[in-house]
A = this chain, B = another copy of it.
């Protein structure tokens, strides 16, 4: 094989940059719309692939993302590495102890939400193989098993992020959902490994299918028993005697590569090894948070976006779009998962509304369904139409999950400090010199944002009633003022910077240089209380005040708040 020529390398680097860039931009957009970032990343690939860019400008597309040749091969190598690392991190995030925290409820939900969609998927594919596009060369049993898994799997990483987003992750509801999802994923992946083992035609390594399946199940068993214990025992040695945290990170990656090599070698796929090793390592309380964080952040912000965007390059989502098939797959998937989740939740004794929400939560198929479909497509188990239907199902079920939980359970959305800051509420040069003048000046900008719905004087008037105002002057000249206001529905924080300082009282000479005016709905004193607490914590660090005084724009100020260590540790 010829080595990559300079031209190929340049194109490869450019296509990686384009994929990553588009994935990050659309991922951010999805996040803004309170959707999982993976949806934006997938969309980036669909836009850059044959579906859109390839149709509009086929030549430019073929130049940047060649379908064959050394650049295409190199890109496949890198995305292959990326998905392996993604599944390692997905495995790390699985907290097996969660499964037992809610005792039998989670398990009941898990069992019901696997069995019902599994049976439905199997039944549908077994009876109507040609409708779902079973390939003639593929054993009908295999095809039916695949669709069964595809209907019953859920996407733990996406579910966790959605629960965090709707502020239900730490609730009892969240624990049930997560433990059920872990059960779904575990069963789903093991069965899928068996399916791939059955489909394996490589006769030179393992002569019999039984051997592959036996090896796969033995691997899972080994990893979760002796392997898990061994890792747990070895980790302290790695931490005590190797460079930290590099040694631990290296150790986890080496184990992942070995596991991936083994599962690939026995005829299933590298990602299983990576996923199960990730789970076994992540399960050890000895794995330090810092290593976990570095692995997660690097892989999630570089490799996963590249992988998910690259999926869109493989298929034309318009020409392979089969409406009936998409609706059928989506219908079966949603109906069975909702029903399965509800049955399990009722069986576990949950109330009706919560049971419905459990169904929607588990229905989220995101990343996992897509990876599953991709492997099946590459092995020739399914055709492109079914792959497109699975991807669309994954996207739509993930998109509806958060909003439906919100609608059914109406959880109190967590009010984040950073959302209360606004561009118009940052006053880099306060003019007032007196306390009263300053409060009026700061309240006026809120009034301007609310287009007259708020009377600035109403704030000035109330600012001394003790039940409405918390007024705390803290270290190093930061003044925090909080007031409950009638006319608003969400909190606003006005930030004022005064170079000359504002006098705090007649009694002493202390002057405030940074002033926060926190306004929140009058009937919700908790919000402003929390914000006062958060800001006090943040500004205990004298460096924060200095940097705040140096911020020349709202963007610089917001960047400072969002990236400060204290603020992050709270998350």
Residue in B closest to A235 when the chains form the complex, CB atoms: B559
A558: B residues at CB distance < 8 A: 239-241
A73 contacts partner chain B, Cβ-Cβ < 8 Å: yes
Q: Which of A261-269, A440-448, A474-482 contacts B (4 or more CB under 8 A)?
A: A261-269
A81: B residues at CB distance < 8 A: 78
CB of A10 within 8 A of CB of B261, answer yes
A7 contacts partner chain B, Cβ-Cβ < 8 Å: yes
CB of A236 within 8 A of CB of B270, answer no
Q: Which of A300-308, A317-325, A427-435 contacts B (4 or more CB under 8 A)?
A: A300-308
Q: Which of A12-20, A494-502, A503-511 contacts B (4 or more CB under 8 A)?
A: A12-20
Q: How far is the CA of A236 from the CA of B73 in the complex (A)?
A: 37
Q: How far is the CA of A559 from the CA of B294 in the complex (A)?
A: 18
- Contact A559 to B24, CB < 8 A, known contacts A7-B202, A68-B1, A294-B294: no
A222 contacts partner chain B, Cβ-Cβ < 8 Å: no
Q: How far is the CB of A153 from chain B (nearest CB, A)?
A: 23
The 8 A CB mask of A163-193 against B (1 = contact, 0 = none) is 0000000000000000000000000000000
Partner of A242, one of B5, B28, B568: B28
A54 contacts partner chain B, Cβ-Cβ < 8 Å: no
A254: B residues at CB distance < 8 A: 17, 20-21, 24
Partner of A245, one of B14, B247, B563: B563
A290 contacts partner chain B, Cβ-Cβ < 8 Å: yes
A9: B residues at CB distance < 8 A: 80, 264, 270
CB under 8 Å from chain B, chain A span 204-262: 204-205, 235-247, 249-251, 253-254, 257-258, 260-262
Task: Say how many copies of this protein the assembly contains.
Answer: 2
Residue in B closest to A293 when the chains form the complex, CB atoms: B294
CB of A563 within 8 A of CB of B244, answer yes
Q: How far is the CA of A72 from the CA of B251 in the complex (A)?
A: 24
Q: How far is the CA of A244 from the CA of B293 in the complex (A)?
A: 13
CB of B24 within 8 A of CB of A300, answer no
CB under 8 Å from chain B, chain A span 254-300: 254, 257-258, 260-262, 264-265, 267, 270, 286, 288, 290, 293-295, 297-298, 300
A243: B residues at CB distance < 8 A: 27-28, 31, 37, 301
A3 contacts partner chain B, Cβ-Cβ < 8 Å: yes
Q: How far is the CB of A367 from chain B (nearest CB, A)?
A: 16
A76 contacts partner chain B, Cβ-Cβ < 8 Å: yes
A5: B residues at CB distance < 8 A: 202
State the interface size on chain A (CB cutoff 8 A): 86
A449 contacts partner chain B, Cβ-Cβ < 8 Å: no
Q: How far is the CA of A1 from the CA of B66 in the complex (A)?
A: 12
CB under 8 Å from chain B, chain A span 535-571: 553-556, 558-559, 562-563, 565, 568
A250: B residues at CB distance < 8 A: 20, 24, 301-302, 305
A28: B residues at CB distance < 8 A: 241-243, 247
Q: How far is the CA of A258 from the CA of B13 in the complex (A)?
A: 7
A70 contacts partner chain B, Cβ-Cβ < 8 Å: yes
Q: How far is the CB of A116 from chain B (nearest CB, A)?
A: 34
Residue in B closest to A265 when the chains form the complex, CB atoms: B10
CB of B1 within 8 A of CB of A70, answer yes
A265: B residues at CB distance < 8 A: 6-7, 10, 14
Pairs A-B, 5 closest by C-beta atoms: A246-B301, A239-B559, A17-B257, A13-B261, A10-B265
A–B Cβ pairs within 8 angstroms, 30 of them? A1-B68, A1-B72, A4-B76, A4-B77, A5-B202, A6-B205, A6-B265, A7-B204, A7-B205, A10-B262, A12-B77, A13-B257, A13-B260, A13-B270, A14-B261, A24-B242, A31-B243, A73-B73, A74-B74, A237-B559, A238-B559, A244-B563, A244-B568, A245-B563, A246-B297, A246-B300, A247-B301, A249-B302, A286-B559, A288-B563
